[in-house]
Structure 1
Amino acid sequence: MPLRFFVCLLICSCSLSIQAQTPPYPRNYFRNPMGIPLQLSANFGELRPNHWHMGLDIRTNAQENYPVYAAAEGYIAHIGVRASSFGRFIIIRHPNGLSTLYAHLNDFFPALEEFVRAKQKEKESWPIELDFTKEQFPVSKGAFIAYSGNTGGSQGPHLHFEIMDTRTEKRLNPLLFDFGLKDDVPPTLSKLAIYDRSKSVYDQSPFFYTLKNTDSGYIIPKIPVINTGLKKISFALAATDRLSGSNNPNGIYSAKLYLDEEPQLAFILDSISYDETAYMNAHVDFKMRYNGGGFIQHLSRMPGDLGAAYHPIKNDGVIEFNDTLLHAVSIDVSDAHGNRSTLNFMIRYYDSLAKPSTVISKPLVIAPTMVSVVEKPGFEMYISDKAVYDTVATSYFVAGSASPYVFSDIHQVGEGSVPVHDDLVVRLKLKRKVPEEWQDKLIILRGDRKGSTVRKAVWQEQWLSAKFSDFGSYQLIADVQPPQINSLGSGDTVNLSAASRIVFTPTDNYGIKSFKAILYSCTADTLGYHCSGDSLSAGQWLRFTNDKGRNSIYRFDETCPYGVHKLKVTVEDLVGNTSTREWWFKRYPYTAPPPKKTSSKKGKGTKTIKKANEKAKKDVKKTVKKTKK
């Protein structure tokens, strides 16, 4: 039997056995959640900073406010409004045991939007999370539920769409359901990397080989055989995928490693839970990415990787040579539609090529699956057995600080180029006495060359503690500076008649915790002057949005009628420092001057949205009727 044919049989049989373990996915159960042709800007399992992408990003022609529809019948079980992450989102629970999530939305459908705004006012909070019973907001398949947007952590207008198991909340790959996407393009393989697994992946830079696609598959050009002096190795691959008719690079679905026709390991991105999505940092060469390189995906499982993406068959994908014979390696990469690309090459171990190992002695060694504790004068760090993926050999440094606001030395353990899965517990001891009025103002600042993070310190006798998700330098600082609030405008009574909104951009040296605005209105016509006593209404909370955590924005609505008002704004930082400012302003009917005549043509996208919104208005009436029932 020809070798290539035999390898193909093995690949197919292994693929079938793995797919047989995958739960069945209902076909034609879910519809396209948009009313426009389905086009993707990102797929499930795409590599992102510190996580896999957990759904599909659906294009909306770089515009907002396309109507979004329920992918199947069910009921709205949860909504959220967040400054980052999903922004405004909806979760619909379906009767088949699955749920769908729709994120980065603008307004919800009218009845739901009205309900959410009322709850925000009741709780005096713009960020909000609400659960619903199946009787409150039932939806039919294709019912209008919201408008698409760009809220939260979105970098541009699109709809983020997820399918999950309702019971476990594990996200399922939507491309395994039938959404009618055309895809006959196999994955693209660009680079192969080889690692010396006799030492940690964090203590080396791999050997790279550029790949070339041929009629018989991918090869390493001009290198018929890789001769190596590494006795224990693993491989990694740079690979992307794309759909038919699209140049957008997406993530691959699976990769399987074979040595001499025997399967060694596979990783398959069919389902991922949010509890394990951070294991993506063990799946890629994190250090390379941190230092500005691209994503390289390991074809071996790190010792501290407890995620479900890998299916080890032999030695976690690590290959150890016990001879100097030629060995055949095959790597089979596929997308969710079954398109495949295969890399084949030969490798041989030569003892004469082995180089003496050069181990740089470092005083701190942190091992996966083991608890580690760093104890130094004035500093302690607790590292759990789930914190690191591979052995970390690092150093400890200490330096002083002359700042009157710093109450500890600066202690450094490692750097941010090594990923951390489970939080590190950091404890710092006071170097000198803290004034009594500052004792509740202490923070721990972590930093490295890529940036910094801040946590409020918790007292533990003479020590202060906080949790961090990165190595770096740590110091204890008193934050005694209150936030800064920009001005509403000039004058004794600011004239906002021509304005459609109020915008504040408060700032703080270490981060803002909360923003609150209260409106007091003159109950009688004061002819533009201030009022007081019985003429001033009780304060009302104003709904300032804070999308993306940048600006706090209030768009004028019925809460602020025409007349004279007093606005009180309070901003609090992470340790409780507050700033409060007050302004009087007036707002009366305003007629803008007529605009200059210009010749303009509406774009195709604008017409598409207008047409889609006309359909949505009809769908709203249907949805409202069903909701009232």
Structure 2
Amino acid sequence: MRNYIFYFLLLFSSSISLKAQQIFSNNNYPLTDFRPPLDITPPALAGSFGELRANHFHSGIDFRTNQRIGYPVYAPADGFISRLRVQNSGFGLALYITHPNGYTTVYGHLSRFNPKIAQIVKGIQYKNQSYEIDEFPSATLIPVRKGEVIAYTGNTGSSGGPHLHFEIRDSKTEATINPQLLGISIPDNIPPIIHAMYVYRTNGKPFNEFTPKQYFQIAGGNGKYKINQVNTIHLSGEVGFGIVVNDRHNGASGNNGVYSIELMVDSSKVYTSALEKFSFENSKAINSHTDYPTYLRTKQSIQKSFVDPGNPLQIYFNLVNNGRVVFNDGKTHQVTYIISDARGNKSTLSFNVLADPKAVINTPETPVGTSFTYNRQNEFNKDDVKVGLPKGTLYNDLNFTYKKTAKPQSNAFSEVHQIHNPLTPLHTGFELWIKPDSALLKYQNKALIVNTNRSSQGGYFENGWVKAKPRNFGSFFVAIDTIAPNIIPVNVANGKNMSAVSSMKFRISDGLSGIKSFNGYIDGKWVLMEFDAKTANLWHTFDERTTSGKHRFELVVADMKDNVKRYAIEFYR
């Protein structure tokens, strides 16, 4: 068991004043190396590090930008641009700076790069004939100095509104680290808010959607909380606890995540989680950290204070019996939660538990199925379906269930195969093989697997099977995609004079397998088309490559099954 030490961390405020804080960490991070990436004061966050998101922990901090784009983004320290990334979704336009102190900073959802970087990026896009790029320049190509403007804030990629996504990563391991531990100061004297507490009757069994839980309403505020109208909880046997919490900072704050959760029984620690840093490969384990079935049903994020055996996250400390507590001695025990934010503000929730043998609640038996073990590879085979779960897919042992139902009425080339149920979280996708009807043979290259919401899971035909790797359990069947994508011109038409506009605009979409590629050509030469996946907007901005006079434009859009739509016009500049 790792010993967890406290130390006082000094963070710089915008006025460079020092404040002592008590934070969980075994690392002595540099506190003065980095300046803030923005000059917006006071700084405010729309999202905190490690905040609970759908299927992942938030990997950085989101700076608010007053619902506007275009604020200058400054290099927080000397270094060099080590990665240039442009994505249809994800971070959109993004930069990475590697610094000599061993850390790399990341900037996401940018609207544009500074002129030098923009010229380099555009050159790479034309060289690769691709809007999306992921390049790793040499250390000498784009050096930057502390305080230099590198880009401007935006709303590109999978962004829900204008902001700057900012990360600090370990350059060697690429683990992402809480920026507030490295001197990025956010004014905050507000303790976390505790909304609810739950007790799970685990009874020595794997956690799943059948585990009984009991809700307790919370009263209090300003860092001091108690269970509303309950003096003592009566419990018997093995239980786990769960808590609903969030945090706010001074000023224009969102409902952000907390830094650490401690659970103590009779003054002894039995569980600690602390979001100091994490690896991206383990971020999906948020679905083990929280009560995943409840989240799917209600969108409420209950953070479990007990750890599933297959949970790979390295954020847990001081674990006793993985956080599961046994009450069987007939005595009264004091249980205390201590919740901290990244500035060291704390809230506590204390309550009594009487170990009462009469307070037994049995965990229901799970449906009979095939036994899958969390720490090994598992397989399930039938004549027309095969399922493979690589080692590391499951967080808990599982009674795997399967059922086959009738073929859907349209665009279906197999029966529906119900692969367990979506309430069980998976760390990685699983391998699925479905044997299709013989009628599929003439559409082999168009075959894919979809779920019953007709959402594509990808896939391909091979040796009589259609294979795919869905991310979650559910119900699936084989379908085909033979329909080309849609192209809708927005401001263009055949024969139009476009000398008065700066760009030509379109909207593109696909009904099933999804957009694979888009390419524009003017007079037979490839031109850069930029795409915003969340709005489906596609555009080309005219530059010196398109001179005055008559031109021919062609747009070619293909989907994942190589169905192609072409659009061609003549226009004038």
Query: Structure 2 length as normaliser, TM-score?
Result: 0.91
Q: CA offsets per residue over residues 146-201 of structure 1, 9 Å max, x none?
A: 11111111111111110011000011100112234322111111111110112423
Match in the other structure for 2:312 = 306
Post-superposition Cα deviations, 1:359-393, rounded to whole Å, max 9, x if no partner, equal 25333444422332222230011112311223444
Matches within 5 A, 1:185-334: 185-198=190-203, 199=205, 200-213=207-220, 217-228=224-235, 230-334=236-340
Q: Paired residues, what number?
A: 553
Verify the 8 A CA contact 2:490 2:507 in the aligned structure 1. no
Cα pair distance change 1:276/1:140, threshold 3 Å: same
**How many Å apart are 1:415 and its aligned residue?**
2.9
- 2:479 is matched with which residue? 477
Query: In the alignment, which residue of structure 2 is the partner of 1:165?
Result: 170
**For 1:227-262, what per-residue CA distance to the aligned partner results, in whole angstroms no more than 9, with x for missing partners?**
12x411000111111112344211100011111111
Secondary structure of the residue aligned to 1:237 is strand
Equivalent in the alignment of 1:411: 417
Secondary structure in 2 matching 1:374: strand
| Aligned residue among 2, 23, 31 for 2:35 | 31
1:466 lines up with 2:452 in the alignment: no
Greater alpha carbon shift after TM alignment, 545-554 vs 358-367? 358-367
Does the C-alpha gap of structure 1 residues 13 and 374 become closer, same or farther in structure 2, counting only changes over 3 Å?
closer
Cα drift, residue 216 of structure 1: 8.6
Counterparts of 1:336 and 1:491, CA distance in 2? 55
| 1:107 paired residue number | 112
Distance 1:491 1:118, change over 3 A: closer
8 Å contact 2:23–2:344 — kept in the other structure? no
Residues in 2 aligned to 1:512 and 1:14: alpha-carbon distance in whole angstroms: 50
Q: Structure 1 pair 209/506, CA: closer, same or farther in 2 (3 Å)?
A: same
CA contact (8 A) 1:381 1:426 kept: yes
Superposed counterparts of 1:573-592, under 5 Å: 573-587=559-573
Q: Distance in 2 between matches of 1:444 and 1:502?
A: 36
Corresponding residue of 2:58: 53
Query: SS at the partner of 2:486?
Result: coil
Shift of 1:30: 0.4
Match of 2:525 among 517, 528, 540: 540
1:560 to 546, 553, 562: 546
Distance verdict in 2 for CA 1:361–1:20, change over 3 Å: closer
Query: Does the 8 Å CA contact 1:151/1:548 hold for their aligned counterparts?
Result: no
Tell me what 2:426 maps to. Answer: 420
- Match among 510, 515, 520 for residue 512 of structure 1: 515
Deviation of 1:70 after TM superposition, in Å, equals 0.1
- CA contact 1:212–1:218 (8 Å) conserved in 2: yes
Contact 2:82 2:98 in 1 (8 A): yes
Determine whether 1:353 maps to 2:359: yes
Higher strand share: 2
Q: Contact between 1:447 and 1:453, CA under 8 Å: does it hold in 2? A: no
The structure-2 alpha-carbon separation of the partners of 1:385 and 1:348, relative to structure 1 and needing over 3 Å to count, comes to: farther
1:134 aligns with 2:119: no
In the TM superposition, what whole-angstrom CA distance separates every residue of 1:496-515 from its partner, at most 9, and x where no partner exists? 34433222222222111111
Residue pair 1:456, 1:575 contacting (<8 A) in 2 also: no
Give yes or no for contact 1:488–1:583 (8 Å, CA) kept in 2. Answer: no
Higher helix share: 1
Percent identity of equivalent pairs: 30
**For the structure 1 residues 14 and 68, does the alpha-carbon distance in structure 2 shift closer, same or farther, using more than 3 Å as the test?**
closer
Structure 1 residues 321-364: Cα deviation after superposition (integer angstroms, max 9, x where no partner) = 23111111111111111111111111122222324554253334
Q: Distance in 1 between matches of 2:410 and 2:287?
A: 38
Corresponding residue SS for 2:126? helix
Q: What's the offset of the Cα at 1:484?
A: 2.5
Residues 492, 504 of structure 2: 8 Å contact kept: no
AA in 2 matched with 1:334: S
Kept after mapping to 2: 8 A contact 1:488/1:494: no
- Name the aligned partner's letter for residue 118 of structure 2: E
Alpha-carbon distance, 1:217 to partner: 2.7
SS at match of 1:208: strand
| CA deviations over 1:31-88 (Å, ceiling 9, x no partner) | 0111221221111111111111111111111101111100001111111000111110
Is the Cα contact below 8 Å between 2:95 and 2:106 reproduced in 1?
yes
Q: How many Å separate the matches in 2 of 1:111 and 1:149?
A: 18
Name the CA shift for 1:330/1:487 in 2 (closer, same or farther; >3 Å): closer
Contact 2:202 2:211 in 1 (8 A): no
Match of 1:624 in 2: none
Which whole-Å deviations, capped at 9, do the CAs of 1:204-231 have from their partners, x for residues lacking one?
A: 3521111122689321122110012x41
Say whether residues 1:22 and 2:26 are aligned partners.
yes
Moved more, 556-565 or 171-180: 556-565
Contact 2:210 2:363 in 1 (8 A): no
Q: Please state how far the C-alpha of 1:275 moved relative to its aligned partner.
A: 1.0
Deviation at 1:19, TM superposition (A): 6.2
The one of 493, 496, 506 equivalent to 1:494 is 496
CA distance in 2, matches of 1:495, 1:123: 30
Q: Structure 1: which 5+ residue stretches go unaligned?
A: 1-11, 521-538, 588-629
State how far apart, in whole Å, the 2-side matches of 1:491 and 1:56 are.
43
**Aligned equivalents of 1:492 and 1:107: distance in 2?**
31
User: 1 CA distance for matches of 2:101 and 2:492?
Assistant: 59
1:90 is paired with a residue whose SS is: strand
Matches within 5 A, 1:412-451: 412-436=418-442, 438-447=443-452
* 1:181 correspondence with 2:186: yes
What's the offset of the Cα at 1:102? 0.9
- Whole-Å separation in 2 of the counterparts to 1:215 and 1:572: 56
* 1:367-382 matches, cutoff 5 A: 367-382=373-388
Select 1:123's aligned residue among 125, 128, 140. Answer: 128
SS in 2 for 1:568: strand
Alpha-carbon contact 2:89-2:156 (below 8 Å) kept = yes
In the alignment, the residues of structure 2 paired with residue 389 and residue 338 of structure 1 have an alpha-carbon distance, to the nearest angstrom, of 31
Deviation at 1:92, TM superposition (A): 0.5
Cα distance in structure 2, aligned partners of 1:83 and 1:160? 16
Report the CA distance between 1:107 and its aligned residue: 1.5
| Alpha-carbon contact 1:257-1:264 (below 8 Å) kept | yes
**Structure 2: unaligned runs, 5 residues or longer:** 9-21
Please say which structure displays the higher CA radius of gyration.
1
From the superposition, tell whether residues 402 and 305 of structure 1 become closer, same or farther in structure 2 (CA, over 3 Å).
closer
**In structure 2, do the counterparts of structure 1 residues 105 and 452 end up closer, same or farther at CA, with 3 Å as the change threshold?**
same
Report the secondary structure of 2:412's partner residue. Answer: coil
CA distance in 1, matches of 2:24, 2:473: 41
Q: 1:456: which partner in 2?
A: 459
Equivalent residues of 2:4, 2:25 under 8 A apart = no
Instruction: Give the Cα–Cα distance (whole angstroms) in 2 for the partners of residues 266 and 162 of structure 1.
Output: 24
Question: Aligned partner of 2:228: which letter?
Answer: P
For residues 559 and 4 of structure 2, the distance between their equivalents in structure 1, rounded to whole angstroms, comes to 59
Secondary structure at 2:295 match in 1 = helix
Q: Which amino acid aligns with 1:35?
A: D
What TM-score, normalized to structure 1?
0.84
Report the residue type matching 1:233 in the other structure.
V
Moved more, 313-322 or 483-492: 483-492
Shift of 1:477: 1.5
CA distance in 2, matches of 1:140, 1:491: 46
Task: Give 1:20 shift.
Answer: 7.7
Residues 542 and 216 of structure 1: is their aligned pair in 2 closer, same or farther, counting only changes over 3 Å? closer
